[in-house]
Structure 1
């Protein structure tokens, strides 16, 4: 049974929905301001410092836990349907994960849709990865991590690295990834009544902004479920059992396993979309991050 502390996240999501319904003409800047409240569920982690930086021409925020191994870097691509969210909204979550893993995390402010449609977001991730490699960070000591649309980017950017002939990173972590641009997942309907945030109409709107006029929902970089995952790095995927995007997590895990990838799937009972946002507040999030840390350290 879900903890009472975890109710905070669903309440926040429902509040956003109410505010969007009340203001159907909400502008993109207003939406971005709304989604920057995504940091509210996350308690500030102890003993973590932050630094604003530009890497490979892309702005972002570093999370540096005291005593972390700075030769090991996780590149975090934030969620928000490729159009909202920021390094600010995800800074604290990244801090909790970085502290648990004992590494540094760079949260990217990649270019956002609709001003910058696909593949701008992937291109920014590639620029950052190349810059880290040029700075002497070993590929095996770099990982990609992201949530929701950023979970897509954590996977799709590695597919792009492979296409470009770059040495692949050491691991990939995806929280509640939104992968299927065709929106065919069965849990979009079966979990519609229990997901506080993500619905098919919301995804349709975000998809339109992301793909723009020229993008295709079956492009394997935009929709990693259309890709061949053979040779992919070790992959950790999680999701909440009551969220509409659960099917995306299940399908990518199945495809990775069939391709021979070292994949771990974690589905948390009763949890909402990107439930690790409850880090420091709810036991389910803290337990999940501890699980990820154990997985990472065993690689």
Structure 2
């Protein structure tokens, strides 16, 4: 049931979006006529709309991505029979989270008995986002891995969002969740894969530093999907890709200040920019045995990510980097957005190869570092 506050929020936001559309379209057409673009008109329009809309309340963006608006797995053909085994909440002192899946769909397995456990940290610039939006992709990833004889469990962290919470609240939750997986669930840390998207990638890197600082057992692998490594938002690719990406610097600057206000930046300056060498810390000591990183060539983060990868390799860490041509920020997620419904309509035993290419790509990345 939608409450009156939500109705009012929608009633405020939709006219705000519509009022900006004529100006954005005119601006887009003038820019394309003057500068040209390697993007199709439809792709350019979609990316421009996401990047340049202004004044949209965070509460509205959180609402349209809320778990309540996600597909109901219990009503789907593919996962209806096993829906009760997915997205199971858990909590302990210091954190909350969900088991998205334990073992291949239809073959529930205790996490500590699985071959690998992904510790998933969602993105959203620290101000929006939740793991439920990734659930269907994760189920498909588990299917793909099972075909390669790898039993996968996926645990997703819920961390406090800004501006309601600031640093160090997210990293405290991330460390608490990691300790719980190792100490309470009895999972061999060598089988844990911290996996972060965008801001979640930043939080994974911060987690790896804290694991080393606290002398906790190191995980065996890590995955960073288009990670937000530099909260200053000033690398060269911000200028080069400013008309190619979905991200906009003003929104990112707002989010960075929300999670790390000026009053906290001196105290936590070590987490502001991971793309630069860190005094006294070798990334070979910080990173797991192997790390897989993926980013789109049109992502504004790409130069920071390439620089960080070069530093890691120079330090002796094993990091595989894939720069995907033509992809904007979050491109692997976007590939599956409009395919979820058709995927969920498949029977449990029906071949789904190629239906969710984003999920299959991410699964192949995970498998590549095992």
Higher strand share: 1
Higher helix proportion (structure 1 or 2) = 2
Q: Pick the structure with greater CA Rg.
A: 2
Stretches of structure 1 lacking an aligned partner (at least 5 in a row): none
Give 5+ residue unaligned stretches, structure 2: 1-37, 146-150, 340-354
C-alpha distance in 1 between matches for 2:265 and 2:316? 27
Please provide the CA RMSD for this pair: 3.1
**Structure 1 residue 151 displacement after superposition:** 0.9
Out of 264, 284, 303, the residue aligned to residue 230 of structure 1 is 284
1:93 deviation in Å? 2.9
1:202 shift after superposition: 1.4
Aligned to 1:159: 209
Structure 1 residues 194 and 130, CA, compared in 2 at 3 Å: closer, same or farther?
same
Q: Which has the higher contact order (CA 8 A, sep 6+)?
A: 1
Q: Note the alpha carbon deviations across 1:28-86, whole angstroms, 9 max, x for none.
A: 3223224549x98xx99955741332243422222213237622321111100011001
Helix, strand or coil: the match of 1:81?
A: coil
Q: So what's the TM-score if we normalise by structure 1?
A: 0.84
| 1:191 correspondence with 2:241 | yes
Aligned length in residues: 285
User: Is 2:251 the partner of 1:202?
Assistant: yes
In the alignment, which residue of structure 2 is the partner of 1:97?
Answer: 141
Alignment partners' CA distance in 1, 2:125 and 2:315? 27
CA contact (8 A) 1:118 1:222 kept: no
Secondary structure in structure 1 of the residue aligned to 2:200 = helix
Q: Secondary structure at the match of 1:224?
A: coil
Contact 2:125 2:199 in 1 (8 A): yes
2:179 maps to 1:130: yes
In the superposition, the TM-score normalised over structure 2's length comes to: 0.69
C-alpha contact 1:68 1:104 (8 A) present in aligned 2 = no
Partner of 1:81: 125
SS in 2 for 1:167: coil
Structure 1 position 251, deviation (Å): 1.5
- 1:171 is aligned to 221
Change in Cα spacing, 1:55 to 1:137, as seen in structure 2 (3 Å) is: farther
